[in-house]
A = this chain, B = another copy of it.
Amino acid sequence: MSGKYLVTGGAGYVGSVVAQHLLEAGHEVTVLDNLSTGFREGVPAGAAFVEGDIRDAAKWLDASYDAVLHFAAFSQVGESVVKPEKYWDNNVGGTMALLAAMREAGVRTLVFSSTAATYGEPETTPIVESAPTSPTNPYGASKLAVDHMITGEAAAHGLAAVSLRYFNVAGAYGTCGERHDPESHLIPLVLQVAQGRRDAISVYGDDYPTPDGTCVRDYIHVADLADAHLLAVAAARPGEHLICNLGNGNGFSVREVIETVRRVTGHPVPEVAAPRRAGDPAILVASAATARERLGWNPSRADLAGIVADAWEFAQNITREQ
């Protein structure tokens, strides 16, 4: 059965891939994005596009929408440390306004783009959803505040809600891929080195208690992530706020990522040793048991070489366009 969905932040990396998946599944999609960090050309063909802020959603959101998939947010950890007020104002204040608009319009299903950063430095691994939440930066704190806000909204007003806590999203899908300005994510950075656009990749710490001494993260293909969002819309139940981690449950080290990029691209990737960064836990790996059980999610693109190959193709395409 086809539906009508609002995708906030649908000009961004994950939002645009999810919008594309919704369209491919035969749904009607409106993308709302203020283009403050998204790209107009990232909005998939076939989606209606509204250039605007989530605070203004009340102006046109109406009961014809079946659900909102909410990605609009600032998401740069480093920036959030320097300008926390920007994150509280936009991510938290913006979502307050969006929830009010949804109540007003009678749209009662929400899938929210949350993050592993809500957990902070984990005490045990893999991370389950009942783990303590102790974010180490304002970005993670703002996303945790929104998760708490949604919990209250579901209990009080019957919202059907799912928060998906992403681990390290990577890869690309069609014309939609990962690019940040400034780039801060490992795989795109390593690919820029392989392209010769950057001299070397910094390895922040090689004496962590991990097999090769570098940090271990759980990389998940953005198309697998998108699948989970469509399943979440279907799994959402009125009055319940379901929280699911999204990861593969397997970790790859920084050194394994670099090695995989060398193998996939055939280019040299010089490394530079750098000191550990504050707030970088040794291992961040998801338990995806809840997503598998409650959403029926079954990620099929867990192979790191495949993730890197898709990201490489996207990186080569956008470089050619520039």
Which residues of A line the B interface, CB within 8 A? 80-85, 87-89, 92-93, 96, 99-100, 103, 132-135, 137-138, 141, 144-145, 148-149, 151-153, 155-156
Contact = CB atoms under 8 A, between A and B. Distances in A.
A176 to B, nearest CB: 31
16 contacts: A84-B149, A85-B103, A85-B152, A87-B152, A88-B92, A88-B96, A88-B149, A88-B152, A89-B96, A92-B96, A132-B133, A138-B148, A141-B145, A141-B152, A145-B145, A145-B148
A85 B149 CA distance: 8
Contact of A135 (B96, B100, B141, B148): B148
A59 B74 CA distance: 29
Nearest to A96: B88
B81 A85 contact: no
The A interface, classified by DSSP as helix, strand, loop or mixed, is: helix
Contact of A93 (B93, B99, B103, B156): B93
Contacts of A141: 145, 148-149, 151-152
A145 B142 CA distance: 8
A89 B89 CA distance: 11
A152 B138 contact: yes
Contacts of A80: 152
A219 to B, nearest CB: 27
Among A87, A88, A100, A156, the most chain B Cβ lie within 10 Å of the Cβ of: A88
Among A99, A100, A141, the most chain B Cβ lie within 10 Å of the Cβ of: A141
Contact of A96 (B82, B93, B152): B93
Contacts of A137: 152
Nearest to A152: B84
A182 to B, nearest CB: 18
A92 B145 contact: yes
A133 B135 CA distance: 11
B135 A134 contact: no
Contacts of A99: 85
Nearest to A138: B152
Nearest to A147: B141
Contact of A85 (B83, B100, B132, B151): B100
Nearest to A82: B156
A301 B81 CA distance: 41
A145 B93 CA distance: 12
A263 to B, nearest CB: 40
A143 to B, nearest CB: 11
Contact of A148 (B144, B153, B156): B144
B84 A153 contact: yes
A316 to B, nearest CB: 37
A110 to B, nearest CB: 14
Contacts of A88: 92, 96, 149, 152
A15 to B, nearest CB: 23
